[in-house]
Structure 1
Amino acid sequence: MADLPILRDCLVALTQARILLGRAGQAMPTRALLEFQLDHARARDAVHTALDPAALAAAIGQSCIVVRSRARDRTEYLKRPDLGRLLHAEDISLLTGHGPGTGTGATLAIIVADGLSAAAVHAHAAPLIAAIIERLPDWRIAPLVLALQARVALGDDIGEALVADLSLVLIGERPGLSAPDSLGAYLTWAPRRGRRDSERNCVSNIRPPHGLSYGAAADTIVALMRSASGLRLTGVELKDGMVSLLPPYAG
């Protein structure tokens, strides 16, 4: 029994999950209850905090095109997920003529979307983008797009407008009680409106040091992208056919 505190400390050090909380009578200990309430508040703040496009563009280190979905504000975005998947009609003209251009090599559109956690985007998007671009010297990349009130499928409209072979949507994931800043990456070959979720590949939980590191995430994303370019598809068919080609830590 004397070893239980040591065992608890070892297990807690391995995960942010709520384990071995103990009890005070028939209830949770005060400390555990307060930590739960704090994490819930952080998750709620992550959902409602707005993305700062200027600050994000400065962190990325290049000019970006800022677009919106058809959701007018955060309240409508949360109540109407369908509107978050559609590009605002007034913003289509912002993308016209800004594609990757002509030349050799596959073309890529990178869309950074607020999603359900702007905190995740501000914390992780810039270093992840740098790691991805470093691994793609032979690809032509369109100007970066920052998307507000955006769902994953908004990348289909944007990628189609940019005439890109592949869209990569980096988006803030739904906050958990121990992970309010997790970033997800979604790949879609030949993006266009109407693509199904089964036609995408996802790399999730990008949030070092507690989740996937930038290097590991970039390795996995680029491996998927190169396979997608060769097979001209993404989604379940790509994943099923190229598991052996992924880095060993990709899962």
Structure 2
Amino acid sequence: MSAQVARIIGTRITSGEFRPGDTLPIENELCQAYGVSRSTVREAVKNLAAKGLVEVSPKTGTRVLPFADWNLLDQDVLSWRLNAQFDERIIEDLYEMRNCFEPRACFLAARDGSADDLERIRMRFSDLVSMLGQPALAAGAETEFHLAIMTATHNGLFVTIGRAVKTALKVSFGLTQRSANGQAMDLQPYQAVVSAILARKADEASRAMSQLLEISRARMLEALRNAPRAVEKTAGE
């Protein structure tokens, strides 16, 4: 229950309903609003504080912190923000972040990945190909493909970034699949990434991922513009 309450309040914060500097309703009001106990509300607020969304003070109550304090790589915070405000700015921010890390991850995977790492990447791509006709499964397969590349870097920080990418892909893939004008995923850019990594052509792998991300970004923006109802549905889930 505390996780559910944290999700509700967290979504209200990331959507802008509660703005930085605002004070949340007092504990009793939250208990009544959500039909939960005081201990549940306290645990939920503690969770939000750990994510950098709020600060609890005996004098001022629970105050929403500035955006700069939010832990945006936290899987919950990222998911709440994407679901609440999936707009062009969020997409641009997401792909700026991915462009900073994923091409380099491909470079490192090609250069330093073990034979087992490369086989895992090949298998994840094969999974993606086989599941393309089943959107829900394909979403998971695409996610695991990107995570396999991150894991092959053997860099713990890249793996952490990969978790954020996983959360973002779950939301964004659903958007593109629900778009009325959406087209089937083009697998050629993925094949180019896999081929370069397996051939241990690090620079080529990096360029291939940059091209894949640009195609994915354009596809995402097109889906967003063509599927306003899908976005509204996503925000309410």
Greater fraction of residues in helix: 2
Greater fraction of residues in strand: 1
Q: Taking CA–CA contacts closer than 8 Å with sequence separation of 6 or more, which of the two structures ends up with the larger relative contact order?
A: 2
